[in-house]
């Protein structure tokens, strides 16, 4: 997704621009060979890196909210004064420059020192925090603890063999072969030791003793904690059909899964994807990029209808068909015998590689064993604390009170997991921050990104603006006239504005 660096655009801001040439909210220019964005916020003018530190999104097309700017692609947020990445998915700060006004012109001077984190000193910081899970939420929490200047000990236990990776990429560019593996780690290997994060890979936590405040690791190790974060994520649902355990039949969750699929895809001519979910269809697109014939088998009549509605579902199906995907909808795979997948309808598909994308289940085993309150997820309060004081949960496992939908919800989205990890970190330090971010996710199919903000499990109307087939649209999912969620294609600014409107609505 990261783009080639284009030559610097716009005026040379070091030479200054006339105030009269800067009438809008933002102006894209450069300082030396770096793209720099001038941003007006009230009476002040700021200068910040023009590209997001997540996937290089163009901030000039983003939304300015007070002293911050939000990225149009996946809604990261940066503080205009300090450059700090205040909301995931961006984790790294952007450079900011000093701005001076002189004789009716604005000059961008030297880069500012990277500021110290904005962290408030915590009132009752615990000595030792243990995080179970090395994914989106666990990583974001560990990172935020250090950004908050937490000086105590952090142990992060992950039963994965790989350090935290950019999981969404596993069904997109990396699987398609267009991103190298070194794009995947969320941080370079040396980061953990440098940051004093004791990351222990291949460490499977088997139980928690909430009275003694210990976690027990397979093999017998016991690790004590003062506060604990559970971020064990979700695991793919396995298909209970004959032949699902063969080596060319894969689920897709971890880097190891993805590597195994890539290995199976080498020399493969035909693939069967079971499930027309986000992951299934993204994987289908990635395999098409490898020139493999792809058959998608799924019981529903329209892909993604349950989440995106019939119109968007039809579009997604047509988009994949345009790229050569062959759908077998209203059908399921009954058995896989070697390279032959037999469908319930009786058809047989040849498959050198099979990907099973039939949904995930939250990994609740540890929470259940520890006696935490469970309701189709680990129940947490507004501060992401579980029913046991001192134990927090975040990410795919957490069911939290969402102020926007006014329901207790659990979602399986990258940005939500990271932001929950960040809020949990602050709360582990005693800051009492309510988790009130509006849920956001994106999905990428070929060159078409779908951005979705809000949460709508049911709706009574979908108001469609623009043209879905023309890939320029905004869909509003409404219940009794109230907008619960918005999905869009290439209407990023409107999607950001919808996010802001939902925030403002629920803070009233
Ligand atoms: C291929 C793929 C593509 C995706 N694409 C998108 C996308 O485009 N947009 C989007 O919004 N979302 C996407 N998602 C979903 C997103 O990745 C998840 O919502 C997110 O990773 C959840 O974060 P988490 O921290 O809760 O769980 P995870 O990231 O799954 O991390 C859980 C961690 O806990 C560890 N663990 C579990 N149990 C134990 C235990 N007992 N002991 C020790 N460690 C344990 C696991 O090894 C893992 O490290 C995608 C997911 C996948 C698999
Ligand atoms: S590119 Fe900016 S949030 Fe992803």
CB 251 within 8 A of CB 356: yes
What atom in ligand 1 is closest to the CA of residue 253? Answer: 53
What is the arithmetic mean of pLDDT over 150-164? Answer: 97
Alpha carbon distance 302, 329 (integer Å): 7
Would you say the CB of residue 90 lies under 6 angstroms from ligand 2?
Answer: yes
3 pLDDT band, cuts 50/70/90, is very low
What atom in ligand 1 is closest to the CA of residue 138? Answer: 25
CA 295 to chain centre: 27
What is the arithmetic mean of pLDDT over 124-130? Answer: 87
Axis-axis angle for helices 278-289, 305-322 (nearest 10): 10
What atom in ligand 2 is closest to the CA of residue 59? Answer: 2
Could you tell me how many residues make up the chain? 508
For Cα atoms 405, 408, 412, give the angle at the middle one, nearest 5 degrees.
90
The DSSP bridge pattern shows strands 205-209 and 214-217 to be: antiparallel
Show Cβ contacts of residue 219 under 8 Å, excluding neighbours closer than 6 positions. none
Nearest ligand to the C-alpha of residue 442? 1
Would you say the CB of residue 76 lies under 6 angstroms from ligand 2?
Answer: yes
413 pLDDT band, cuts 50/70/90, is very high
Pocket test for ligand 1, best of 396, 421, 423, 438 (most atoms within 8 A of CB): 396
Nearest ligand to the C-alpha of residue 256? 1
Nearest ligand to the C-alpha of residue 87? 2
Query: 262-321 pLDDT, tens per residue?
Result: 999 999 999 999 999 999 999 999 999 999 999 999 999 999 999 999 999 999 999 999
Q: Would you state the pLDDT for residue 461? A: 97
Q: Would you state the pLDDT for residue 383? A: 98
Query: 184-201 pLDDT, tens per residue?
Result: 999 999 999 999 999 999
pLDDT of 444 over the 70 cut = yes
pLDDT of 486 over the 50 cut = yes
- 281 or 113: which leads in pLDDT: 281
Q: Would you state the pLDDT for residue 9? A: 79
Q: Find the 69 Cα to ligand 2 centroid distance in Å.
A: 12
Alpha carbons within 13 A on the beta-carbon side of 142: 31
Would you say the CB of residue 362 lies under 6 angstroms from ligand 2?
Answer: no
- Sheet hosting strand 214-217, strand order edge to edge: 205-209, 214-217, 222-224
125 pLDDT band, cuts 50/70/90, is confident
Q: Would you state the pLDDT for residue 117? A: 56
Residues in the ligand 1 pocket, defined by CB under 6 Å? 132-138, 157-160, 167-168, 170-171, 203-205, 231-234, 252-253, 279, 363, 366, 395-396, 412-415, 417, 441-443
- 298 or 43: which leads in pLDDT: 298
Q: Would you state the pLDDT for residue 1? A: 44
pTM score above 0.75: yes
The DSSP bridge pattern shows strands 234-236 and 398-402 to be: unpaired
Alpha carbon distance 451, 474 (integer Å): 9
Q: Find the 200 Cα to ligand 1 centroid distance in Å.
A: 17
What is the arithmetic mean of pLDDT over 446-473? Answer: 97
The average confidence (pLDDT) of the chain is: 95
- Please give the share of the chain, as a percent, with pLDDT higher than 90: 92
483 pLDDT band, cuts 50/70/90, is very high
CB 38 within 8 A of CB 106: yes
Q: Would you state the pLDDT for residue 126? A: 85
What is the arithmetic mean of pLDDT over 226-253? Answer: 97
CB 397 within 8 A of CB 377: yes
What atom in ligand 2 is closest to the CA of residue 74? Answer: 3
pLDDT of 405 over the 70 cut = yes
pLDDT of 4 over the 70 cut = no
Alpha carbon distance 473, 462 (integer Å): 12
365 pLDDT band, cuts 50/70/90, is very high
Would you say the CB of residue 55 lies under 6 angstroms from ligand 2?
Answer: yes
Nearest ligand to the C-alpha of residue 159? 1
């Amino acid at each position: 997704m990261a783009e080639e660096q284009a030559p610097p655009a716009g005026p040379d801001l070091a030479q200054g621009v006339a105030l009269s040439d800067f009438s809008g909210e933002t102006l894209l220019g450069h300082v030396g060979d770096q793209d720099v964005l001038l941003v007006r916020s009230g009476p002040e003018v700021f200068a910040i890196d023009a590209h997001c530190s997540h996937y290089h999104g163009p901030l000039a097309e983003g939304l300015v909210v007070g002293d911050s700017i939000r990225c149009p692609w996946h809604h990261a947020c940066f503080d205009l004064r300090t450059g700090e990445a205040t909301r995931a998915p961006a984790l790294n700060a952007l450079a900011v420059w000093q701005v001076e006004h002189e004789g009716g012109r604005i000059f961008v001077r030297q880069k500012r020192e990277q500021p110290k984190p904005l962290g408030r000193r915590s009132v009752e910081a615990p000595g030792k925090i243990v995080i179970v899970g090395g994914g989106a939420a666990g990583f974001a929490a560990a990172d935020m603890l250090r950004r908050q200047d937490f000086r105590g000990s952090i142990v992060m236990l992950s039963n994965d063999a790989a350090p935290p990776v950019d999981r969404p990429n596993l069904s997109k560019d990396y699987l398609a072969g267009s991103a190298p593996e070194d794009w995947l780690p969320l941080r370079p290997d040396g980061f953990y030791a440098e940051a004093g994060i004791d990351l222990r890979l291949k460490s499977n936590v088997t139980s928690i003793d909430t009275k003694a405040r210990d976690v027990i690791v397979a093999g017998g190790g016991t690790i004590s904690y003062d506060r604990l974060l559970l971020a064990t994520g979700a695991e793919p649902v396995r298909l209970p059909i004959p032949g699902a355990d063969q080596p060319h039949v894969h689920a897709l969750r971890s880097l190891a899964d993805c590597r195994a699929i890539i290995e199976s895809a080498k020399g493969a001519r035909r693939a069967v994807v079971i499930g027309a979910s986000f992951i299934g269809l993204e994987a289908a697109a990635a395999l098409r990029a490898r020139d493999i014939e792809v058959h998608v088998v799924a019981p529903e009549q329209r892909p993604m209808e349950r989440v995106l509605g019939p119109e968007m579902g039809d579009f997604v199906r047509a988009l994949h068909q345009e790229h050569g995907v062959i759908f077998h909808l209203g059908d399921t795979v009954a058995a896989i015998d070697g390279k032959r997948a037999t469908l319930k309808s009786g058809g047989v598909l040849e498959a050198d590689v099979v990907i099973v994308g039939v949904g995930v289940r939250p990994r609740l085993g540890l929470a259940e064993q520890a006696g935490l309150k469970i309701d189709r997820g680990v129940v947490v309060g507004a501060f992401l604390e579980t029913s046991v004081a001192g134990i927090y949960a975040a990410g795919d496992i957490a069911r939290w009170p969402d102020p926007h939908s006014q329901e207790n919800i659990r979602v399986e989205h990258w940005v939500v997991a990271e932001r929950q990890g960040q809020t949990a970190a602050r709360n582990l330090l005693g800051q009492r921050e309510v988790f009130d971010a509006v849920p956001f996710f994106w999905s990428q199919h070929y060159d078409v990104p779908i951005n979705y903000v809000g949460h709508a499990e049911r709706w009574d109307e979908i108001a469609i603006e623009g043209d879905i087939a023309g890939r320029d649209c905004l869909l509003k999912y409404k219940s009794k006239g109230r907008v619960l969620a918005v999905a869009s294609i290439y209407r990023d600014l409107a999607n950001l504005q919808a996010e802001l409107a939902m925030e403002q609505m629920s803070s009233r």
